[in-house]
Structure 1
Amino acid sequence: MNYSKDSIKQIVKDEKVEFLRLEFTDMLGETKNVELPVEEIDAVLNDEAMFDSSSISGFSEIQESDMYLVPDLDTFKVLPENVDEDCIARFICDIYTPDGNPFEGDPRYILKRAMKEAKDLGYTVNVGPEPEFFLFKLNEEGYPIRKMNDRAGYFDASPKDKGDKVRRDIARTLKNFGFEMEASHHEVAQGQHEINFRFDNMLTTADNIQTFKNVVKDIASNHEYHATFMPKPITKENGSGMHCHLSLFTKGDSAFYDQYSDDELSATMKHFMAGILHHANGIAAITNPNVNSYKRLVPGYEAPVSVAWSHSNRSCMIRVPMTRGKGTRFEVRNPDPTANPYLTLAVLIKAGLEGIRNELDAGEAETRNLYEVTDNSVPTLPTNLKEALKALRNDEVLMDALGDHTSKIYLEEKEQEWNTYSLQVSQWEIDHYMNK
């Protein structure tokens, strides 16, 4: 919805709003916020809300800590009562420096920059995400324990599925935020769930993913569950992904559809897919951003391992659904919901456009079950975070997509995460080696 400053002030008055929540996202994908009393509405709408950014991951040093929160008026929303019983209005904000320029480390700005590159080439990009999550029980003190909320499986119904009421409440709340809901269901693993909402442009979709994750956690807490987007919380169970369906348009028509080709897929689409496949290893450092991510990307658990594309083969990184015409799209299957959605979509756009520019070849669609292919004929995704970070560091296209500021700090932060993890002694190691 297109809001003006005057219409927002009128809604704030009519709804008796008490507080203004200014949300933004840090480098690692965490939602942050500052709340101001409603009396500061003029300062907020005049882009005068300042905050100390020195403790925000990926932002500025202590000596350059002052930043401005500039609200995107189209993201204005009075929060539903089941999210917060107080009357609060929310804005999603862009980060600006004191000299009035966009902050180069703001993930939202990084995505906007990638979208402009697509626009300059005559393209708009739409995305439909599929974030999955687990529900866990809480102990007496309200902390999560590793007991799932049910023992149901894929598409199971109540009473096996004990998360149906939670999903309905989530869907109702998201509708109040303006989401167009499509479907919700129990996923393959016990205690695992998926709720799908309609595709939109990349910026709106990234904003929606952040709102979605916050709502899921809030509503789960209302039902005395803990929701987690951790990619692989349970050993030997399917992990949680965030498949991203991408479609490219030019002048309102699908750039991916070609009714005269054998499979009705355009050369542009195959070049775009090829760009993503070509940069897949570096992309993984963003789409699969933590050490746990790579425990999901293993054979046998419906997560992709092979850097290839197919029409219906889910063992590939990219899958092309059967829909044609304006619905022609492809699904990137390796991202998981812990990824920063702004950075994820930025690197996917950048890699895809690079494929179009250089007319990269995606190769033939795979028909084999690539989980069973052992001859190294098909390249695979990184097996751990260290490999992915090395690929990102050596990928000039992706480093350019992130910008000098974010690429440097992101690599430092994640390499430290890997080093810290590598020093830990797990229970598995104790069980296997203590008596050797």
Structure 2
Amino acid sequence: MQPLAVQEVIERAQECHVKFVRLQFTDIQGSFKNVAVTVEELESALHSKISLDSAVVEGKYGVLQRDVFLRPDPNTFQVFPWRPREGAVARLICDIIDADGKPYPGCVRSKLRDSLVWLRKNNFELTFGAEIEFFLFQTNQKGHPIPCTHDNAGLCDLTPVDLGENARRDMVLTLEEMGFQIVASHHESAPGQHEIVLREDEPLNMADKIATFKFVVRTIAQRHGLHASFMPKPLPDFNGSGMALSICLRQEGRNALYDAVAQYGLSTQGGSLIAGITNHASAITAVINPLVNSYKRLGYANLDRILKGWSEGNRNSMIRVPSQRGDDTRIVLRSSDATCNPYLALYLVMQAGSMGIEHRLPLPTSLDENTVDHRVPKNLGEAIEALERDAYIKGILGPVIFERYLDYKKQEWEDFHNHVHPWEIEKYLTNY
């Protein structure tokens, strides 16, 4: 696809009768945000004239904030299909820049895009796919979600058991209208749980798609009178929701993960990529599993995804290499969940893997052969400590993102411990 120019975006907006344009961006914690402008201000917006306070990006307010500016990416222009055709609403995804036009150090999208240089320099093409799970909950008369799932269906069930089929179909059709390629969709194993699979795309496009996916799914669910939640573990007695990331690597047109004569059929690059990720798995976990609730999902199901390593058959490993070889060889990171900041998640996985390739790290022993229990952190507190200790991850995040992310997560962990939970009341109130 040829890059769009500013004037082409303006012409498309006119052709589609757009009245409002949402300038969307992602903050350091991963929240999708926007500033809306009328179409009359679109040209000004496309020339990065729309400013905001850096606190909106960092999530930390104080006296030492500065003006930052939204720089829209013309290639992300989309008209929302669910809005009226007259007075339509469109969106542009933005980078955050300083007044001098340079990327703001807290811009997660710029961080991901700039990291692609090493791959391109070495003729590598890395792509990500995503298998995203979520729950559909019922809402009350005020439209607020209640902890009651939309159905009691199970894995791959059909209607009339699967009551979410119509909503899921509308989600897929809307996503396709917005340029997504959908591989598959189905009901998952838990009541009210669904999965939609996105076809592989280059890292920046995929991060944009994951951020957009969550926004679209929640919007379409609301139009069906439902609430879509990506909370990793909303139901105590059922599996939680994750976001498996499928990683493909090509070099000069061939699958660079595959080597027909090597052990396991994995190339040197494939083994090094896995080694790079597993070497920094504990710190990366603080980003790909960012919530207190994320760790209620990890380690409390039949398929734990908690072992810090890789395998073909051991479903407790955080990385799995499916049995297909040849051009279909791929690596799947199974422990992440969709509450993560997609830009930071893909950035860290890609950077750690690239570092492994650059330093030719050897492939670790498969967990099919070695079942030593080296697990990912058990809770957010352990993950935060691992993130603080990992000098490499700290260095590539940079001080602004690292410090703001860490401060926010430490506060979340402290708030969790200071809160009196219903379990404590049930357990202790009568007996003590």
- TM-score (norm. length: structure 2): 0.95
Q: Can you list the C-alpha shifts for 1:160-204, whole angstroms capped at 9, x where unaligned?
A: 000110110000000111011111000011110001121100000
Which residue pairs with 2:93 in the alignment?
92
Instruction: Report the equivalent of 2:272.
Output: 271
Residues paired across the two proteins, number: 430
- Secondary structure in structure 2 of the residue aligned to 1:244: strand
The equivalent of 2:376 in structure 1 is: 381
My pick for the range that moved more, 116-125 or 180-189, is 116-125
Looking at structure 2, the residues matched to 428 and 249 of structure 1 have their Cα atoms a distance apart, in angstroms, of 49
Is 1:412 matched with 2:413? Answer: no
**1:305-328 deviations in whole A, cap 9, x for unaligned?**
111211133211110112223321
Matches within 5 A, 1:196-207: 196-207=197-208
Please tell me the residue identity of whatever aligns with 1:153.
Answer: G
State the one-letter code of the partner of 1:223. H
Q: Secondary structure at the match of 1:55?
A: helix
- Label 1:62 to 1:108 Cα distance change in 2 as closer, same or farther (>3 A): farther
Show structure 1 runs of 4+ deviating over 3 A.
Answer: 55-64, 82-86
Match of 1:305 in 2: 306
1:156 aligns with 2:157: yes
In structure 2, give the amino acid aligned to 1:29.
G
The CA distance in 1 between the partners of 2:7 and 2:96, in whole Å, is 23
Q: Is the counterpart of residue 166 in structure 1 residue 161 in structure 2?
A: no
Distance 2:73 2:394 in 1: 27
Are the structure 2 counterparts of residues 347 and 30 from structure 1 closer, same or farther at C-alpha, using a change threshold of 3 Å?
A: same
Question: Match of 1:392?
Answer: 387
Report the CA distance between 1:341 and its aligned residue.
0.4
Q: Any idea what SS the aligned residue of 1:347 has?
A: helix
Alignment-mate amino acid for residue 246 of structure 1:
I
1:145-224 correspondence runs (5 A): 145-224=146-225
Distance in 1 between residues matched to 2:290 and 2:376, nearest whole Å: 13
Kindly state the Cα deviation for residue 262 of structure 1 after the two structures are TM-superposed. 4.0
2:293 counterpart letter in structure 1: N
Conserved in 2, the CA contact under 8 Å of 1:303 and 1:333?
Answer: no
Indicate the SS of the match to 1:342. helix
Q: Partners of 1:91 and 1:21 in 2: how far apart?
A: 6
Cα deviation for residue 117 of structure 1 reads 3.1
Q: Distance in 2 between matches of 1:285 and 1:404?
A: 16
Per-residue deviation, residues 13-72 of structure 1 (Å, max 9, x unmatched): 111111111100001111110111111122122222222333343478554431111111
User: How far apart, in 2, do the equivalents of 1:86 and 1:336 lie?
Assistant: 36
Partner of 1:315: 316
Shift of 1:365: 2.1
Corresponding position: 1:123 with 2:118: no
Which residue does the alignment assign to 1:335?
Answer: 336
Alpha-carbon deviation of 1:293? 0.4
Distance (Å, rounded) in 2 between the aligned partners of 1:193 and 1:11: 34
The answer to whether the 8 Å contact 1:21/1:91 transfers is yes
Paired position in structure 2 for 1:326 = 327
8 Å Cα contact 1:350/1:397 also seen in 2: no
Q: Distance in 2 between matches of 1:362 and 1:405?
A: 33
Moved more, 136-145 or 41-50: 41-50
Which amino acid is the alignment partner of residue 415 of structure 2? T
Is contact 2:17-2:86 (8 Å) kept? Answer: no
Deviation at 1:138, TM superposition (A): 0.3
Shift of 1:8: 1.7
Where 1:179 maps in the other structure, the secondary structure is coil
Corresponding residue for residue 363 of structure 2: 362
Distance 1:286 1:263 in 2: 30
1:291: which partner in 2?
Answer: 292
| C-alpha distance in 1 between matches for 2:341 and 2:100 | 27
Query: Could you tell me how far apart the structure 2 residues matched to 1:356 and 1:78 are?
Result: 40
Give, in angstroms, the shift of residue 274 of structure 1.
0.9
Q: Residue 198 of structure 1: SS of its match in structure 2? A: strand
Going from structure 1 to structure 2, the CA distance change for 1:267 and 1:118 (only over 3 Å counts) comes to same
- Matches of 1:83 and 1:351, distance apart in 2: 44
Q: Secondary structure at the match of 1:11?
A: helix
Distance 1:314 1:296 in 2: 14
Q: Distance in 1 between matches of 2:85 and 2:347?
A: 32
Does the CA-based 8 Å contact 1:134-1:228 persist in structure 2?
yes
Change (3 A) 1:58 1:400: farther
Q: Are residue 75 (structure 1) and residue 56 (structure 2) matched?
A: no
How far did 1:214 drift? 0.4
RMSD: 1.8
Provide Cα deviations, 1:246-273, integer angstroms capped at 9, x if missing partner: 1122223221111222432101101110
CA distance in 1, matches of 2:255, 2:112: 21
SS at match of 1:240: coil
Percent sequence identity over aligned pairs: 40
| Structure 2 match to 1:347 | 348
**1:26/1:59 contact within 8 Å kept:** no
Q: 1:431 is matched by which residue type in structure 2? A: E
Asked if the contact 1:71–1:92 (Cα under 8 Å) also holds between the matched residues in 2, the reply is yes
Select between 111-120 and 11-20 the one with higher mean Cα deviation: 111-120
Give the whole-Å Cα distance in 2 for the aligned partners of 1:284 and 1:84: 43
Q: Distance in 2 between matches of 1:206 and 1:282?
A: 20
What 5-or-longer segments of structure 2 have no aligned partner?
Answer: none
Amino acid at match of 2:12: I
Q: Could you tell me how far apart the structure 1 residues matched to 2:389 and 2:85 are?
A: 45
Contact 1:309 1:316 in 2 (8 A): yes
Give the superposition deviation at 1:360.
2.5
